[in-house]
Amino acid sequence: MERVDILGVKVDAVTMAQAVERVAELIAARTPSMVATANAEMLLRTTHDAELKSILNAAKLVVPDGAGTVWAAHHLGKRMPERVAGADLVLELMRLAPARAWKFFLFGSAPGIADKAALKAQELCPGIKIVGTRNGYFTAEDEPDIIAQIKHSRPDVLLAALGVPKQEKWLAAHMNELGVPVSIGVGGTLDVMAGAVKRAPVWMQRARLEWLFRAMLQPSRAGRLVALPKFVWQVHKQKVNG
Ligand code: UDP
């Protein structure tokens, strides 16, 4: 599989269909594997977070989540077929889940959100097995219980929605112990599924403006937009310096 180096992180040049196929292979392999969804903000963060960078480079699949990641690959003269948004990847996997008997555990977000997301999943994908949920607000003392809960429910796919980089670091620290075949850091996906946060309208997604929609809806996130010009600048520096 082709991987494109963006700011030192190897991002897989995959379509949605290829990403889904790869996840299916990882589930079948049964060895604990991490799947990451790399957007511009995450990639920029790796320039000053070496731990996150090495976690991403050890992941079995890093999908281009976001217009910024696809743009970066193209600016560097590489092939990157399409955007594979984490929220869309999760939905595609959930659609296949009943037929393939894949079981999901939803971990993260505010209390009640993962349960609402589970109900939505059952409505959208009848027959899907959500074997457990747990909110993402916990202390170090709660961790053994959380780990035991996930382990004993034996999911095939663990969705961790703790935000970047907490979810990636938590998964890297615990995935071998958890023994779940595929763990994915999914950011705000459970909020979107639960209906607590709206996804941008399709025309805005197509116009590559989902980031703008999110900032408009949650002004507290607007400050995070400064990452975008910084990301563009860093990618350009990478291109010039080779
Ligand atoms: N979150 C959590 N525990 C924390 C911090 C955050 O469960 O300690 C959740 C938060 O409620 C939200 C998600 O993590 O559902 C982060 O969403 P965001 O859209 O900010 O994701 P990112 O852009 O960081 O991927």
pLDDT digits (tens, 9 = 90+) for 26-84: 999 999 999 999 999 999 999 999 999 999 999 999 999 999 999 999 999 999 999 99
Residues with CB under 6 A from ligand 1: 108-110, 136-137, 161-164, 166, 187-188, 190-191
Ligand 1 centroid to 221 CA: how many Å?
12
> What atom in ligand 1 is closest to the CA of residue 108?
7
Ligand 1 centroid to 79 CA: how many Å?
30
Ligand 1 centroid to 37 CA: how many Å?
14
pTM value is 0.95
Full pLDDT tens readout for the chain, 242 residues: 799 999 999 999 999 999 999 999 999 999 999 999 999 999 999 999 999 999 999 999 999 999 999 999 999 999 999 999 999 999 999 999 999 999 999 999 999 999 999 999 999 999 999 999 999 999 999 999 999 999 999 999 999 999 999 999 999 999 999 999 999 999 999 999 999 888 899 999 999 898 889 888 888 888 888 899 999 999 999 999 97
What is the tens place of the pLDDT at every residue in 1-13? 799 999 999 999 9
> What atom in ligand 1 is closest to the CA of residue 135?
7
Ligand 1 centroid to 193 CA: how many Å?
13
HEC states along the chain?
CCEEEECCEEEECCCHHHHHHHHHHHHHHCCCEEEEEECHHHHHHCCCCHHHHHHHHHCCEEEECCHHHHHHHHHCCCCCCCCCCHHHHHHHHHHHHHHHCCEEEEEECCCCHHHHHHHHHHHHCCCCEEEEEECCCCCHHHHHHHHHHHHHHCCCEEEEECCCCHHHHHHHHHHHHHCCCEEEECCCHHHHHHCCCCCCCHHHHHCCCHHHHHHHHCHHHHHHHHHHHHHHHHHHHHHHHC
